[in-house]
């Protein structure tokens, strides 16, 4: 059972570089989201999507773009990386309307911006 798969697991970027964090789920979940986890800050929502073609901003969306062209995939793009974006990023999904509220998380992607 793959569940939620994130790639890459580790990445080092230089300031100003761009990259995409990939997230794919094979559970036919309509809801997908991206969080960042920082020491002392807990999890903060970046963007989320309630279905293909629909995205919305979370608490900390600046510097990040998302799109949802398929149910399975929800990539997170950093157009011009900044040191403040050094963090661990988690993708999470669940059934439509957040259902029971149980989010299924990927294993995380650790990003360092120099």
Partner 1 sequence: GDSVTQMEGPVTLSEEAFLTINCTYTATGYPSLFWYVQYPGEGLQLLLKATKADDKGSNKGFEATYRKETTSFHLEKGSVQVSDSAVYFCALRGNSGNTPLVFGKGTRLSVIA
Given the rule CB under 8 A, which residues bind partner 1? 4, 31, 33, 35, 40-45, 48, 50, 58, 90, 92, 97-98, 100-103, 105-108
What residues contact residue 49 under an 8 Å CB cut-off, 6+ apart?
31, 32, 33, 55, 56, 66, 68, 74
Query: 70-109: string of b/e by CB count within 10 Å (b at 16+)?
Result: ebbebbbebeebeeebbbebbbbbbeeeeeeeebeebebb
Tell the smallest beta-carbon distance from residue 17 to partner 1 (Å).
Answer: 25
Both structure tokens of 61: 């969306």
Q: Measured from the CB atom, is 17 or 22 closer to partner 1? A: 22
Q: Which is nearer to partner 1, 54 or 79 (CB)?
A: 54
80 vs 96, beta carbon nearer partner 1: 96
Name which of 48 and 64 has its Cβ closer to partner 1: 48
The Cα–Cα gap between 16 and 24 comes to 26
Beta carbon of residue 19, minimum distance to partner 1 (angstroms, whole number): 20
Nearest approach in angstroms of CB 23 to partner 1 is: 11
């Amino acid at each position: 059972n793959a569940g939620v798969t994130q790639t890459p697991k580790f990445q080092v970027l230089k300031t100003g570089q761009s990259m995409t964090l990939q997230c794919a789920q094979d559970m036919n979940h309509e809801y997908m989201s991206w969080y960042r986890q920082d020491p002392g800050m807990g999890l903060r929502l970046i963007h989320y999507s309630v279905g293909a073609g629909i995205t919305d901003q979370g608490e900390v969306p600046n510097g990040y773009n998302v799109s949802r062209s398929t149910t399975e995939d929800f990539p997170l793009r950093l157009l011009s990386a900044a040191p403040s974006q050094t963090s661990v990023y988690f993708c999470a999904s669940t059934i439509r309307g957040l259902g029971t509220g149980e989010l299924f998380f990927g294993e995380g992607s650790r990003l360092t911006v120099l």
